[in-house]
Amino acid sequence: MAVLRRFGTAITEVSEGRWRENEDRMRGRELSGLRVGLVGFGRIGRRMFRYCSAFGAEVVCHDPYVMDTEVPNLSLEEIFKTSDVVCVCCALTAETCGLIGRSLLESLKQEASLINTSRGEVIVETDLAEVLALRPDLRVGLDVLTGEIAGTQWKSPLLPFKDQGQILVTPHIAGATLDSQTKAARCALHILRNHMGLPYREI
């Protein structure tokens, strides 16, 4: 929503003492009526499907390992060519590392939005940087960057685009809520109890 509605730009405008002097720079899109393509249809993808559907978006997905999808399961190429918003929410595996490169990124529609809440390594960041240099129309929101586990995320070639206000970058905060951490702790405790052969107990 922040990328579609250009919240980052709006916040910067107010911080720099402007109100609606540059209104065209803050003019965003509504999710209703847009096509959202989900790369990955696991736990997070299914949740995104519910959220986007509630806003009136058309949702499609790409997941070669899920056969029971309640949404059309398209090729990765079709997802990128036809979606107004592409949300990357797959797991990082040997197969998905570097999955999204230049050819897919170049095929994004005019004014398309690309969101990555997966892992930075799923997208080839040098390719995305090259495409962004040629496609200022693209709207990009990244909650992850390559190298964050090793602490080398500050070397990302995408950070200059963040500094210029062209893309939005957040420090992997999608699950950083008290609620989600409580749920994760409960899940971990249930797994531990199950491993130890203890009976299920509501926590």
Catalytic residue among 119, 121, 125, 139: 119
Architecture label for domain 31-172: 3-Layer(aba) Sandwich (3.40)
Residue type at 69?
A: T
Catalytic: 172? yes
**pLDDT at position 49, please?**
96
Spatial separation of the C-alpha atoms in residues 127 and 38, rounded to whole Å? 20
DSSP conformation class of 25: G
Catalytic residue among 25, 172, 190, 193: 172
Residue 202 has pLDDT above 70, yes or no: no
In tens, the pLDDT along 138-178 reads 999 999 999 999 999 999 999 999 999 899 999 999 888 88
**Structure-token pair, residue 109:** 């529609």
Beta strands in the chain (DSSP E): 35-39, 58-62, 85-88, 113-116, 139-142, 167-169
Spatial separation of the C-alpha atoms in residues 200 and 12, rounded to whole Å? 50
**pLDDT at position 69, please?**
76
Q: Is the dihedral of CA 121, 157, 125, 4 positive or negative?
A: positive
Contact 19, 44 (CB under 8 A): no
Residue 203 has pLDDT above 80, yes or no: no
DSSP string of 108-152?
Answer: SPTT-EEEE-S-GGGB-HHHHHHHHHH-TT-EEEES--TTTTTT-
Is the whole-model pTM more than 0.85? Answer: yes
Residue 104 has pLDDT above 80, yes or no: yes
CA 99 to chain centroid: 14
**Structure-token pair, residue 187:** 């899940």
Catalytic residue among 58, 78, 130, 148: 148
